[in-house]
A = this chain, B = another copy of it.
């Protein structure tokens, strides 16, 4: 019975555009893509994806392109704002209305907040937001949810900690929102100056229990999932402050000595040195699995919005 879920032709701009039921459905389709990804498919044969990356993000771009190839489709695009027409003064609306003649779906990455939403308003074909500005990166949110679900077998009932730069970090705000649709407990671990902003916290706190702390050591034994993000040097006016903070949030075997046995560690990558190399080969580390999960989630989205899952 249930509500009829309709994805064909739909834009993927913000995780906030999706109900929990819809998210669950996407994650289910993603699970079905695991075997398809391993052996390849002709589901999207004859379809073309454009990757329009106005700022470089090789990881996200290659993931979208690989997902499209694994479904039998092909890709065109650009990896930086080299686009000649942009240099000549073309606006995003015209670029999108041009490229939509070439392809069936566009994955867009843009430095400006709201760029993907604007593109979707002008385009007749679906737009996949590959990151616009600092806030929205819905395919990252979905792959993070999928990774937790897959690696822990569930979302509900988990204690999840975010560690690092919770103020400027691209993914943590929307992921926190997405997690708040489930019954989880959220721990926010960051230096004072990089705490999550009040207005972002508000909605989440209305839905789930949230604790804030600067003390990583204290929460390590409590949590089931540790979601680590980069702390960028340029955020600190005082270099000495940066060194101190960096040291206190580095995850190594010592940090993990009191961790639960089945703790999993995620990271959106790239990491610099927030997680020591010695952690990589422990069962805690799931950040490279996370990368693979990005493929199946993006395959699911491409197949859904191009109507190939019917």
Contact = CB atoms under 8 A, between A and B. Distances in A.
B90 A272 contact: yes
Interface string A283-308: 00000100110110000000000000
The interface residues of chain A, by DSSP majority, are classed as mixed
A63 B83 CA distance: 13
Given A291-B98, A291-B101, A89 B272 contact: yes
Name the interface size band of chain A: 35 or more
A271 B97 CA distance: 12
A218 interface: no
Given A58-B78, A98-B59, A230 B88 contact: yes
A37 to B, nearest CB: 9
B88 A270 contact: yes
Interface stretch (A42-50, A179-187, A251-259): A42-50
B69 A48 contact: yes
Given A48-B69, A62-B99, 8 more contacts: A56-B87, A58-B82, A62-B76, A62-B77, A62-B102, A66-B76, A94-B269, A101-B292
Interface of A: 39-41, 45-48, 50, 55-59, 62-63, 65-66, 69-70, 72, 74-80, 82-90, 94-95, 97-99, 101-103, 230, 269-272, 288, 291-292, 294-295
Q: Which 7 pairs of residues, A with B, have the shortest CB-CB distance?
A: A40-B46, A90-B270, A85-B270, A66-B102, A101-B292, A58-B83, A56-B84
